[in-house]
Amino acid sequence: MEFEVWWLLAIPVIFGCGWVAARLDLRSLLSESRNLPASYFRGLNFLLNEQPDKAIDAFIEVAKLDPETTELHFALGSLFRRRGETERAIRVHQNLLSRDDLPQADQEHALYELGHDFLKAGLLDRAEDAFSRLHTGAYAKAAQHAKLTIYQIEKEWRKALAEAETLSDLDPAVSYRKEIAQFHCELAQEALQRKDVDAVGHELDAALAVNPANVRAPLLRGDMLLAAGDAEGALRVLRTIEEQNPMYLGLAAKRVMKAYEALGRAPEGLATLREALRKNPSDDLLEIVYEKTVSLEGPEAALILMREQMHRAPSAPGMARLLEAHAATAQGDTQSDLQLMGKLITQRTKSLPRYVCDQCGFRARLFYWQCPGCNGWETYTPRRADVPAAS
């Protein structure tokens, strides 16, 4: 490769251009920094020194001095809401909305944030109104999700149902089958309390049409048929649960046994549940089978049941029942010792038979179709957890 003399001239020129560009950038940076209020730098200093309260006060002063700092207003509003200072967050976003010069995109953003402020403050009607005004734009879909949350909090199941169906139409890739089916079940539950049999049947049919895997619908239909005195019909419906999802048999066990007892076939019902327990071990199902074994066949049969069950699927609640069965068949000091051991294990395991949400880990002593922690539907596995919560 031949050496070109003009390269010697090009090198200083390149360095010179770089130096000029750097000077221009530096002047621009200095010019911008001179335009920033001193409060802005004080706020940054407070943040670096881990003094968030003083930093917030400094940034508020910046926002007052320079109303054009829209992004700073949004940041302050979100920060206030996270800290639980909803009144201050509401004022920040309302001040933004009162500006006539605010661009349309920022107006929608402010309205969306204001809706969340109201939601956090528990002002559900005002939150709903704010989200309802976002018909179009970048925040329309998120606002509909927020409205769906509000309707569930208010237990406005008809509105929640309409909102979930609208969201399903807008985004077919996202499934709302579980939610829609559960909303129908909630409406059926309300109709069941009103003893409106036709409405119960209509809602349960709709639930299964949307989500054939829904287990709550046959449970509610079983309740309806039992209340109407149709034990045979209730049994036919409740038996389908084992085919749908045998994990839910523990929730259906009491209903199944009640139907068999109404038909005068209690021993057959106990045998059916015992076979189901053998196939699908469950503490909830074991509880019913144990109690019915004691009442129908006596403590000796209950002891045999518990021995077999503990060898097959040991659990802390089951061990407490085994000791109870041993105590019922023992005498004297042995009986007293076994009763004492049973009481100690029962006290120890009182906190253990809790259901755990698969989505957020929230633990509850009762089974919920909707998690109280994350509001997710059908997130609880219908099996009791034997592992205590981390301390």
Q: Which residues are known binding-site members for Fe cation?
A: 357, 360, 371, 374
Give the angle subtended at the CA of 55 by the CAs of 49 and 56, to the nearest 5°.
Answer: 150
C-alpha distances in Å from residue 301, one per residue of 182, 237, 296, 304: 40, 30, 9, 5
Residues facing residue 355 across a β-bridge: 364
Instruction: Evaluate whether 320 touches 345 at the Cβ level (below 8 Å).
Output: yes
CA dist 280 and 313 (Å) reads 10
The beta-carbon contacts of 186-194 under 8 Å, at least 24 apart in sequence, are: 186/155, 186/157, 187/157, 187/158, 187/161, 188/217, 188/220, 189/220, 190/157, 192/220, 192/223, 192/224, 192/227
Task: Count Cβ atoms below 10 Å from residue 24 Cβ, excluding itself.
Answer: 10
Query: For residue 112, which amino acid is it?
Result: Y
Binding-site positions: 357, 360, 371, 374
Q: From CA 275, how far away is CA 284, in angstroms rounded?
A: 14
- Cβ contact 242:249 at 8 Å: yes
Residue 142 forms beta bridges with which residues? none
334: left (phi over 0), alpha (psi -120 to 50) or beta: alpha
Angle, CA of 296, 253 and 187, to the nearest 5°: 145
CB 319 within 8 Å of CB 327: no
User: Residue 198 class from Cβ within 10 Å (0-12 exposed, 13-18 middle, 19+ buried)?
Assistant: exposed
